[in-house]
Homo-oligomer: A and B are copies of this chain.
Amino acid sequence: MALLNENYLKLPGSYLFAEIAKRVTQFKAENPEANIIRLGIGDVTKPLTPTVIESLHKAVDEMANAETFRGYGPEQGYNFLIKKIIETDYIPRGITLDEDEVFVSDGSKSDVGNIQEIFGVHNKVAITDPVYPVYLDTNVMAGRTGTISNGVFENVTYLPCNAENKFIPELPKEKVDLIYLCVPNNPTGTTLSRSELKKWVDYAKANNSIILFDAAYEAYIQDPELPHSIYEIEGAKDVAIEFRSFSKTAGFTGTRCAFTVVPKTVMGLTSKGEPHPLNKLWNRRQTTKFNGVPYIIQKGAEAVYSPEGQAEIKGIVSYYMDNARIIKEGLDSIGLETFGGVNAPYIWLKTPKGMDSWSFFDKLLREVHIVGTPGTGFGPAGEGYFRLTAFGNKEATIEAVERIKTKLKL
């Protein structure tokens, strides 16, 4: 008889954003006239830039002629894109990478979800808390955790990040094998300094651990002192895999392109302690279960690296970071306690009067028709916090902040 993967049954009912969608749909049904502003799910609102659009059109035309048509491409991505990624995102920061260390994919969500497949089931996983749910859920599905009780899975090391520790995770007391770090952080909007990252790299080297470094928001870093890549830290190329995305930088949330760096010097161990390059395993995973990103889309991503493309995405980042400033200043002005929003497009706030996260979600939706994300959706330490995103359009963001300032009953 066909047995299902019972690990899936350990997962609590519904995915965070599905629950949000459900509550919003219900509210809309009951209040059809309400003008809802969404600062919840981290989706962007600015369209693709002219340079990307032009490149997409050209690529579509190439697909119309047998001479320029492209069928199967390399599963790892086309070299034209990989070269640009290395030249633009890494070389200027003193990081050299071989072309076969960069894997183009359809999204960081896919890659951070799939990467755990190349590791054994008996690894101890550490996640910050709160955390992007995909890191945890995919490890639950793979059987690396026990069951959940009170929102906490057995056999997972939670690293609480809260106002008290300034959202800087402490090194785990027990030995862990796989460490997920998201820097700048989703959802807290906070970042880690060079010296903080160095601690993690040193820990990983000392313990033969692997750091899974999600840098999807690196373009939002404003402070020139902060590192954008884990590989700016000495030794990281021996212990870290890095994930990057075009989603939040170039507006690719619905266009789907990202990449993952797996240096050939990062090793996983067999149970007998023999090292094998994880690059080879990931390459095998991708060539077996993935067929590459559409040629058209890779040409769109390539255009992001032209001088015009780079200028355009700088404009996008400034636009959203101005939203972040508006939100942060507005909330601060009425005495709410906020974090993030300076080197990241997320504003993390402490719910007023110790209100729980979902109650604050409902309050914000009902009183001012604004959708945010309850902190508890990101883990137990997110309880009592709430996330707003800077990805709305400016007018809506200003209107949302105005409503919160004038109409929210605090």
Residues of A within 8 A of B (CB): 1-6, 8-9, 11, 15, 18, 41, 43-48, 50, 53, 56-57, 60-61, 63-66, 69-73, 106-107, 109-110, 113-114, 117-123, 133-134, 137-138, 141, 177-178, 207-210, 251, 253-256, 268-271, 273, 276, 278, 281, 284-285, 287-297, 393
Contacts and interface: CB of A to CB of B under 8 A. Distances in A.
Contacts of A65: 47
Contacts of A123: 2-3
A120 B4 contact: yes
Contact of A289 (B118, B134, B285): B134
A288 B138 contact: yes
Contacts of A71: 43-45, 251, 253-254
Given A4-B276, A57-B60, A288 B134 contact: yes
Contact of A8 (B8, B114, B281): B281
B290 A110 contact: yes
Given A72-B254, A254-B295, A297-B296, A271 B45 contact: no
A104 to B, nearest CB: 12
Contacts of A177: 1-3
Contacts of A208: 1-2
Contacts of A117: 5, 141
A2 B268 contact: yes
Contacts of A46: 66, 69
Give the most central of A107, A208, A273, A393: most B CB within 10 Å: A107
A119 to B, nearest CB: 6
Contacts of A209: 1-2
B63 A284 contact: no
A332 to B, nearest CB: 28
A269 B297 CA distance: 40
Contacts of A253: 71-72, 291
Contacts of A70: 254
A410 to B, nearest CB: 31
Q: Which 8 A-B pairs have the closest CB atoms?
A: A4-B268, A113-B289, A3-B120, A1-B208, A43-B71, A47-B69, A71-B253, A70-B254
